[in-house]
Structure 1
């Protein structure tokens, strides 16, 4: 039986956390991952408060195991989301895109464990000072919204692990058990995987988007919209339009107008593969199948365990 500070903190069997991706991480995926022994996460960033509450209740009905909510701190109706999380007694909150000091103490007063997503040692230290129970060190390879520092996971994880005393969860470019082992060697005590779980049967993403993810090749993603909020996108007509605008020096207003509203929903949830925003990580180039979430957890753990016994043996 594997045990470390992350499995003990969350009360889970494996130190595998499913990322809270917008338009992909509903209650079905979260419950499936938690039931398989990892930590399932509901992605609140694409949910209205009443929708979030419904997903939390359905997740609790589908699993008796711990689960989490990912909460971007820049969400417009943030206080309503927070009230629902507390009301529903969600055991773990993973915060991102904001200052952890603002709400961490409030959550902890209600017995909720708090993890914050960081892209640098500086922000990891701020998270520790704010009272967070752990941090997710998310490298440049990650999909979705990304850090401006553009530090890769291979560099970020040991830097953060060396800077803080609280447990570190590695994220960005992780989809296999061997990659998981590599990050634990570097000082992490768990992994958060997003792209691998987008390509799962339970993910709420559109089937066309899932197919595009497993069909992606090396170089098919690019970090874009740095003048607004950096985000890694799969190459399509919209991403090319953004790249062209950035190349000619478009300002924030022009980029915001190009992005418009509901662009991510159009791409990832509705399946518009040309005009939609398709957020996904570099590791999509290593994905070739859409599997049940439980199989993903099982495969990653089996590969991790085998690699731990013989790390130099090729797959």
Structure 2
């Protein structure tokens, strides 16, 4: 039995990324109904909005789903209490210390997974008692690790040292990529960017189309002094690049970034001034389609890869 399927009670070991401004109840329930694990991205929601999304997701699916919590956001105590009150059974934490809430969540019967970008933090998450880790490579969109370790290098290094289930993330949008990382030791995959360009994602249609139009080299990891983020190149990115030529202070970078820059771009559709978070794999995303179709195509391609590899040494 696959460890991730067993841990979450899902048909396929495919987890949808809990991305801000993209992962509302419609996407989470669609992924869960299709056999994967859908996640509501709480990072872009006030507590009362999160409660509404959880309640709507429970009505839209009878399958397992979870909530992703970026631990650098405010209102954490309130968010945790809402998750417990609403009976959510799976939580993915990220961008913070897993020791803060892991045991408390587990004491309430919740399965806890933590997202990491390095072997060092994978070991710390395991020590904190999480049920599984997501190891996310440098290719991933949104907030990222500082070490720039790629997924194909990170997964076997983490697999070698941990004993809990391992989920691979970063650059995975196809069944072939899923086959590759599972061959390296991952028990499942987390998929973000591919689901941004889904019909059910709450991201703005203009942002989705920009993801579809993206080519190799159209994303870049920047703003390491604040929190490293991979985003599409646009006017805002060019403004950041120009500021770096002047040797900016952290305060100057914060001033340029301002507030709600990601919402402005990904949710409201301002493709010039917004922060457009997406992974390198956007260069392989060529259409906007239903989440269920994305999962179906990934599984079909995974099986085709498996068959092709079995024939290599015949």
TM-score (norm. length: structure 2): 0.98
- How many angstroms apart in 2 are the aligned matches of 1:165 and 1:173? 24
Q: Which runs of 5+ in 2 are unaligned?
A: none
SS at match of 2:309: coil
How is 1:78-97 mapped onto 2 (pairs within 5 angstroms)? 78-97=76-95
Q: 1:131 maps to what in 2? A: 129
Q: 2:147 maps to what in 1? A: 149
1:110 aligns with 2:108: yes
Which digits, 9 at most, give the CA deviation of each residue in 1:51-108, with x for residues without a partner?
Answer: 0000000001000000010000111111110010111111100000000011100000
Q: 2:303 maps to what in 1? A: 305
How is 1:1-315 mapped onto 2 (pairs within 5 angstroms)? 3-311=1-309
- 1:206 offset after TM fit, Å? 0.3
- How many angstroms apart in 2 are the aligned matches of 1:255 and 1:212? 25
- How many angstroms apart in 2 are the aligned matches of 1:99 and 1:263? 25
- How many angstroms apart in 1 are the aligned matches of 2:20 and 2:309? 34
- How many angstroms apart in 2 are the aligned matches of 1:114 and 1:247? 42
Q: Which runs of 5+ in 1 are unaligned?
A: none
- How many angstroms apart in 2 are the aligned matches of 1:237 and 1:300? 34
Tell me if the contact between 1:307 and 1:313 (Cα under 8 Å) persists in the aligned partners: no
- 1:217 offset after TM fit, Å? 0.4
- How many angstroms apart in 1 are the aligned matches of 2:178 and 2:213? 23
- 1:313 offset after TM fit, Å? 8.3
Moved over 2 A (4+): 311-314
- 1:248 offset after TM fit, Å? 2.2
Task: Point out the more displaced range, 301-310 or 57-66.
Answer: 301-310
- How many angstroms apart in 1 are the aligned matches of 2:310 and 2:263? 42
TM-score (norm. length: structure 1): 0.98
- How many angstroms apart in 1 are the aligned matches of 2:131 and 2:225? 31
- How many angstroms apart in 2 are the aligned matches of 1:248 and 1:140? 26
Q: CA RMSD in A?
A: 1.1
Which digits, 9 at most, give the CA deviation of each residue in 1:6-62, with x for residues without a partner?
Answer: 000000000000001100000000000000000000000000000000000000100
- How many angstroms apart in 1 are the aligned matches of 2:299 and 2:166? 18
- How many angstroms apart in 2 are the aligned matches of 1:272 and 1:124? 36
How many residue pairs align between the two structures?
A: 312
SS at match of 1:68: strand
SS at match of 1:65: coil
